Amino acid sequence: MGKYPFENPDLPLEDRVEDLILRLTLEEKISLLPTQQAAVERLGIREYSVGGEAAHGVAWVGEATVFPQPIGLACTWDKDLLYKIGDVIGTEARAYYKKLGSKGGLTLWAPTVDMARDPRWGRTEEAYGEDPCLTGELTTQLINGMQGDHPFYLKMGATLKHFFANNNEYNRGTSSASIDPRNMKEYYWNAFKPSIVNAKTCCIMTAYNAVNGTPCIVDPILNDIVKGEWGLPGFIVTDAADFSQTVTMHGYYSSYYETAAAALKNGVDCITDEPELVIESVRGALSNGLLEEVDIDNALRNIFRVRFRLGQFDPESCNPYAGISEEDICRPEHRRLSREAAKKSVVLLKNEEGVLPLNRDNINSIAVIGPLGDVVYTDWYSGTLPYKITPFKGIGKKTDNKAITFTEGCDCIALKSLDNDRYISVRGGSDNVLRAEGSTIGINEMFDVTDWGWGNFTLKSYVNGKFVNGAESLTASKEEVRSWFVEESFNMISKGDDIYIIKIWDGKYITVNKEDGTLLAVESEESASRFKLELLSDGIKNAVASAQGADVSIVFVGNNPYINGKENYDRPDIILPPAQEKLIEAVYAANPNTVMVVVGSYPFAINWADKNIPAILYTSHAGQEIGSALADIIFGDYSPAGRLNMTWYKSMDQLPPITDYDIIKGNRTYMYFDGDILYPFGHGLTYTDFKYSNLKIDVENSEQDKDIKITFYIENIGKRASDEVVQLYVSADNSRVKRPLKELKCFERIHLDVGESKRMDFTLSSKELAFWDVTREKFCIESGFYHIMIGSSSKDIRLDKIIKIEGEKIPPRDLTYRTKALNYDDYSFGHIALGEGEENKTCVIAKDKESWIAFNDVQFSKRIDAFEVRAFAYTKGDLLEVRIDDPYGEIIAKCYTEDEEKVHSWETFSCKITQTIEGNHNLYIRFTTPLRLNWFRFF
């Protein structure tokens, strides 16, 4: 036991934290605010690195067990499995912490909890889908496993990403998401809340974007909601470089010290940026009177609560996780769990006439085809694979490698420079530099070219099997496509007659150095060299030949996780690359006995395939065991039971702009979208059939709430044992507001043997039927009828009943009180946004003359004779009109200003009511000019 009270593990945590903070000097305290936390040697405090990644396994520190991408983990719908995976991640994080010391983090940045409400979002692979219930339940269990079950000590600390509304990559450092109270409280927050309240998540990370005009790093919601209402037990950390970007990109503050002060005062405790910049900025905030030492103390309390619970100040004998060592990395049981997760994540999208599973005894030859067929891809946040079993290898092992072939389906080409009439060549050696020096075509001049669509191609050298990289000079040097700016991707721009110019990752073009034939980057297209493409081997023709000679073709298509969609890049479309569509169609024409496997980080619009290909499987990039898992399913050793965690749309034309965050008005996700889709949320087939029966619902009264008891039976009536994912949805009838068509509230993945029956019991709190009532700013359970639906997907409902709930009736609006403009019932889509108003309060922003907001069921009386608003006007003249019953209805008031002094500042404007209005009406505020509106009232 040490000499200071904070080193005594028998003392209460808060006493230890306070004792430590009291012993620190102000400079020492400041040095502990960056994520690279300095050592305080005189007190025996070691340096500590906050951060590290663990999205689907510990990343960036060495070989570790790699699980399916989070989108795949979500497709398991398996809470118990997620706990086990979290436990392995926590164990391997501990092992690396022991191995690497301060370089190995224990407060890792995972899971990503952002709502993936749009399949074009570049980071869809990192998230758990479009539904907050599914996301909240699964990440809660993952975090429980990560952090361990000890009442005090943590195996590791999980960090939720990114709070909140971080769902567009384009302009993410400057954009502001416009989110009204219902969307915020019913949808976006509901994914984060369960893991903080129930799993006691240690940390949460702020998002790059702003919400309603306020950058998340300085939003008072961090203190008021995350810490205050939800009770976060640890600290809040900023995303990488977001601190400086608040100045350089958002332009919200003009100085770093202002940003530091605002972030710390509003709830941030730890800042991810250059340590010296953070330290100097905090010093500046103190010297300018924007911060006090007590503000720093408050942040350090939150940080040290976690560090104490990680055991950093205690003898190892006290900490049950201190014995975890390097031998616990990639243990055999971890490998088995990776395979189980990969199998459980696979979704059977279509299986016409029971094509799957394949009977290996009746098959003599198999053609494995496609760019995803013999590769295991990692992504930006993936760990280092300890080994990899590709689909081709997995299928080969399953069939004892009898008559199995692989054809990638890509072209083999040579490129001749028209500048010097020489072929681009890789001569080997340590540099593997590309030069236009080949006089004839040999293996050194041959490249596999893969067309990933939208102007993105990869080139792989035949001579060494490595990808061409354009970081500084063009070299065939990369084992895989893996770089932040995707330096292995090239745009081959046609100039007709097989003539191309080549554009590289940074927008520059390739030219040939006339002196030595090396390839150089130039700024302008006019200076680019032209290359003649000579086709040496046609990939589609090779695939067709392979398919024609096989009993069955299995085509693997999808995405490379680094191209056309990743962090910093949103997807240009939701279809497969057109080259892959052509490959699928050609293979199917050659051999109708074709199975298609989509290996991807996102949903895809595979409309032609859905109409024509008899059997389709979907898997995420599922880690080291993807090949074994797919082979188990294709040949029937495991019955697939994964379910989609997102709606698969038919076209991106069905989606509003990616920067529109209103899922209610925009009809986003399965909850509100009423159009024709490809595959619904929760969809997934199996190799057997299940019967649902005997639904009973009982509503019990209690002092605080009403518990809705739901029971039913499910029976496996097919010929194979299998898992089934049972899903419970609710909807409200005759609500005052627009409610979801369906909303997931409970789910369970179960296993049933052939003929086995099981009773299912769900308990639904009536609180889960509530919605946010903007008229009174509280959650409300309306009296009325509610539809309880049980099924195998959001569309495949097997049992349903309507129940009556005695709640409350929302009274008519009384607008004689100040009413926040943001609490509207409706608005003109695309013309209204929410932003930062007076005193950092959220206001309504009217963009143009088509803008209006609506307030329904307003009760008027004879006493009202005037109308008053608090607004920010940009011009003199008419500001707004008050109309009733319709956006173009009768005008009852008109506000304007002719006073120059009331322009470009927050002012109160008033006007007379032009006529007596009685009874209940819908009220419309129609803007006649761009305007910001904070509040209004009648008097």
Contact 805, 705 (CB under 8 A): no
Region of residue 757 (phi > 0: left; psi between -120 and 50: alpha; otherwise: beta): beta
Sign of CA dihedral 636, 642, 643, 645: negative
Question: The tokens 């990395």 sit on which residue?
Answer: 329
3-state secondary structure 149-182: CCCCCCCCEEEEEEECCCCCCCCCCCCEECCCHH
Contacts for 490 with CB less than 8 Å, ≥ 6 apart = 456, 457, 458, 459, 468, 470, 502, 503, 504, 505
Q: How many angstroms from the chain centroid is the CA of residue 343? A: 22
Alpha helices (runs of H) in 451-606, residue ranges in sequence order: 539-548, 578-590
Sign of CA dihedral 388, 392, 397, 398: positive
Distance CA 288, CA 258 (A): 9
**Amino acid in position 898:** E
**Amino acid in position 533:** L
Active site includes 448?
A: no
DSSP state of 519: E
From the list 265, 266, 204, 206, the residue with the least C-alpha distance to 230 is: 204
From the list 111, 68, 218, the residue with the least C-alpha distance to 628 is: 68
Alpha helices (runs of H) in 606-692, residue ranges in sequence order: 607-612, 626-634, 669-672
Distance CA 567, CA 122 (A): 6
Distance CA 116, CA 96 (A): 31
Distance CA 642, CA 429 (A): 47
DSSP-derived pairing of the beta strands 422-426 and 411-417: antiparallel
Contact 613, 376 (CB under 8 A): no
Region of residue 289 (phi > 0: left; psi between -120 and 50: alpha; otherwise: beta): left
Distance CA 460, CA 472 (A): 17
Catalytic residue among 87, 219, 239, 570: 239
Beta strands in 495-614 (DSSP E): 499-503, 509-512, 519-522, 531-537, 552-558, 594-599
From the list 841, 920, 914, the residue with the least C-alpha distance to 881 is: 914
Active site residue ranges: 239
